[in-house]
Amino acid sequence: MEYGIEELLPVVKYLTEKYTSKESTSITYEKAQQLMGAVLYCIEEREKHLQGGDDSSEQIQIVESGAKKSAMEAYKEGLQLVMDKVREAKSIYEEIMANFDSYESLCCYDTVARGMPAFFVHYDARFSPQNHLLTLDYPLLVNMPNELCGVDLICSYLKVIQLEQRFLQAFPRTYVIEAQKEYHKGYKELFLNLSSVVMRYIVGKMLEREEEAYKGNVEELEHKMKTLLHLFMELEYRKREEKDFCEEAESYLQEDIHSFAVEYKNYVHG
């Protein structure tokens, strides 16, 4: 649902009064832009919820009626959804940290263990919900959509971290460290994705057991790698985890297979 500027300005005025505690009617141009961004972010959060793209809220149930909601009503409902998502993100983070292991990766530790708490301390859901504050340096195997920001980005990022941690914890800690050491002796300081390193270690060892070096093109090698990964997940990893999670983890790991195939091919042919 779209709102014209004439409908949004009263909401920005309302938010400005909250920001200044009604002690001033003037704010900087930059601050006005920020508050307009806050209004739009909350309204868009409500829209995503109505379209079924976000079912995380347990605190507020929003049903679109035939009559168009005012911009103010849409903003306030959206703000409640943003606050609900902050609580969801915090709950996910607490679950992650209960058994968190960075496996000696400084990048992973600095991003998740050291950096993430700052989001929950400093995030401003009312006046700057579009600002996620953190750079999120630890790389994932999936790219977060460019339009994601604020708590939406943090929540999506943490869900992937949660998946990775669960995947890795099925292995002995020494195995994950060994995989990193084989990848690069300076693994502690590198910006590496831990799941990617372990997947490459597993599939690489399986490729080594082939009777001869694989000589197909990149597409054929990629297919071969996906087949080997699937075999491992079905025959070995399945012994440690339930089926649904195995499928979810395999789908995630496959995001890195193409890059692995290209790198492996270049390495084999020097």
Residues 180-234 have pLDDT tens digits of 999 999 999 999 999 999 999 999 999 988 755 566 789 999 999 999 999 999 9
Give pLDDT, residue 72.
97
Cβ contacts of 211 within 8 Å, gap of 6 or more: none
- Residues 178, 193: Cα–Cα separation, whole Å: 14
60 with 174, same domain: the answer is no
Task: Provide the sign of the torsion angle of the four alpha carbons 194, 196, 199, 201, taken in this order.
Answer: negative
Same domain for 258 and 187? yes
CA geometry: angle at 50 spanning 71 and 162, to 5°?
115
> Which pLDDT belongs to residue 153?
98
Same domain assignment for residues 60 and 93? yes
Which of 161, 178, 193 is the endpoint of a domain?
A: 161
pLDDT of 59 reads 44
**How many domains would you assign to the chain?**
2
The residue range of the domain holding 114 is: 5-161
Please answer whether residues 207 and 135 qualify as being in contact, where contact means their C-beta atoms are separated by less than 8 angstroms: no
Give me the residues of the chain with pLDDT under 50, please: 56-60, 63, 66
Identify the pLDDT of residue 210: 74
Query: Which tokens in the block code for residue 208?
Result: 């080594």
Tokens of 211: 């009777």
Counting Cα atoms < 13 Å in the Cβ hemisphere of 55 gives: 2
Looking at residue 123, its pLDDT comes to: 98
